[in-house]
Amino acid sequence: MFRCRVNLSTMIFLVILQGAAVVLFYGWYIQLSPCVPAPSNGKVHVLLLSSWRSGSSFMGQVFSQHPSVFYLMEPAWHVWSKLQKSTARVLRMAVRDLFRNIFQCDFSALEPYMPDNHKVSDLFMWSQSRALCSPPACPLTPRGQFSNSSQCAISCDTGGLKEVEEACGTYSHVVLKEVRFFDLESLYPLLQDPSLDLRIIHLVRDPRAVLKSREEAAKGLMMDSAMVLDQRFLPVEDVQYQVMQELCQSHERIHKRAFQTPPPFLKGRYKRVRYEDMALNPLEEITAMYDFVGLESNSQLEEWIYRVTHGKGKGTRKDAFKIISRNAADVAQAWRTILSHNKVARVQSVCKGAMSLLGYRTVNSEKEQLRLDLDLLMPLEPYQFSWLPDKTERPSNG
């Protein structure tokens, strides 16, 4: 009988080779499989994706005030401010790479965009982050309490980015709010990164309300508008409508990608939210967002949400970039009595596709516009993830 003799060194080599093959195969499987959760050391990473004047600052506070969240507002502002003669398209990869670092609590990637001898107060809107007003970043606000941005700006502005990194590392959720992403494809590398567990909440708002709000904050948005428009020169009266067209088309692209042709790795990672739904049913919508990212609400948070969304304030031009107590349902309808019908008709024209996809009815006359009993919000079907498997994939028997 034939016998195969294998010496000890050969056996050891074969075992090592087999182990290496298993590790390599597992690495490929993690990258390619949409069903395997990414190893992110237990942290959940959340991107609040929206556009300017869409209610994203309020949504940011909904997460910032949660005791399990490290929140930062619009880190891409630093990139755009440093390179403001560039364009949104050119800078999108630099912004994405910055987000990868910040999600991992590495703030060194921000340093090229910061002034010399920078400190925490050089971060954009830093005092809006409860985490930066609480230990270990600052002793002012106990972690279980709500922060006050005015008090924080006075008492917590001396720390550096190392303290920010230390604070970031102590939270289970890292939440970044941003208005400078205009497609989902730019985010694919983050969604596929095994070191991140990324969830995207896509906030949209009625373009007519966005236009009304943009007009109130026009000066503060000049730099951003120029970059969105690729630095093209346009007559002043056309700028807002061209920007609105770009923003509406971006929401349309994101919506179509997420609903019509989603990649497998988007499953369980995307949620669309309309500002108007949040204004009409704040507790229900916000609880659903918390559930989506694995956060639990509590009575203190619910009381704060009710108070902020049921105030008497209407908001003024001075309040354009502030979070104040307002009646959210009234704010959602304010454009109907403030904008002229000519402006409404024009923004409806440039945003027709997005409005149809996102469930906003148009008004065809000033009379319709002023009929506040006429509901312009169409019900939307819940988001259902649906994608066709590759031809090489075997159908599931389950």
Query: Rounded to whole angstroms, how far apart are CA atoms 211 and 224?
Result: 15
| Residue 143: other Cβ atoms inside 10 A | 15
Q: Which pLDDT score is estimated for 159?
A: 87
Q: Give the 3-state secondary structure of residue 313.
A: strand
Q: Which pLDDT score is estimated for 30?
A: 39
Residue of 138, 144, 174, 142 lying closest to 157 (CA atoms): 138
Q: Which pLDDT score is estimated for 325?
A: 47
CA distances from 335 to 16, 59, 214, 318 (A): 68, 20, 11, 17
Query: Rounded to whole angstroms, how far apart are CA atoms 379 and 71?
Result: 31
Longest dimension (CA), the chain: 99
Q: Kindly state the tokens that stand for 231.
A: 């630095």
DSSP code at position 246? H
| Residue 323: other Cβ atoms inside 10 A | 15
Q: What is the dihedral of CA 145, 146, 147, 151, to 10 degrees?
A: -80
Q: Which pLDDT score is estimated for 23?
A: 35
H or E stretch covering 198:
strand 198-204
Query: Rounded to whole angstroms, how far apart are CA atoms 301 and 146?
Result: 9
Query: Rounded to whole angstroms, how far apart are CA atoms 47 and 45?
Result: 7
| Residue 358: other Cβ atoms inside 10 A | 22
| Residue 369: other Cβ atoms inside 10 A | 21
Q: Which pLDDT score is estimated for 7?
A: 57
Per-residue pLDDT tens over the stretch 285-311: 999 999 999 999 999 999 999 998 887
Using H for helix, E for strand and C for coil, what is the string for 352-387?
HHHHHHHCECCCCCHHHHHCCCCCCECCCCCCCCCC
Q: Are 288 and 272 in contact (CB under 8 A)?
A: no
Q: Which pLDDT score is estimated for 144?
A: 87
pLDDT tens-place values along the chain, 398 residues long = 444 454 545 544 444 445 444 334 434 443 444 434 445 578 999 999 999 999 999 999 999 999 999 999 999 999 999 999 999 999 999 999 999 999 999 999 999 999 999 999 999 999 999 999 999 999 999 998 999 999 999 999 988 999 999 999 999 999 999 999 999 999 999 999 999 999 999 999 999 999 999 999 999 999 999 999 999 999 999 999 999 999 999 999 999 999 999 999 999 999 999 999 999 999 999 999 999 999 999 999 999 999 988 876 544 444 433 444 456 778 889 999 999 999 999 999 999 999 999 999 999 999 999 999 999 999 987 666 655 444 333 333 33
Q: Is 41 left (phi over 0), alpha (psi -120 to 50) or beta?
A: left
CA distances from 375 to 206, 277, 332, 352, 363 (A): 13, 12, 12, 18, 10
Residue type, 151: Q
CATH 3.40.50.300 fits 40-105+169-370, yes or no: yes
Q: Kindly state the tokens that stand for 163.
A: 């303290």
Per-residue pLDDT tens over the stretch 186-244: 999 999 999 999 999 999 999 999 999 999 999 999 999 999 999 999 999 999 999 99
- Residue in this structure with the two tokens 């010496």, named with its chain if needed: 7
Q: Is 308 left (phi over 0), alpha (psi -120 to 50) or beta?
A: alpha
Q: Are 214 and 343 in contact (CB under 8 A)?
A: no
Query: Rounded to whole angstroms, how far apart are CA atoms 152 and 140?
Result: 7
Q: Quote helix, strand, coil % in the chain, to nearest 5.
A: 50, 10, 40
Query: Rounded to whole angstroms, how far apart are CA atoms 108 and 98?
Result: 9
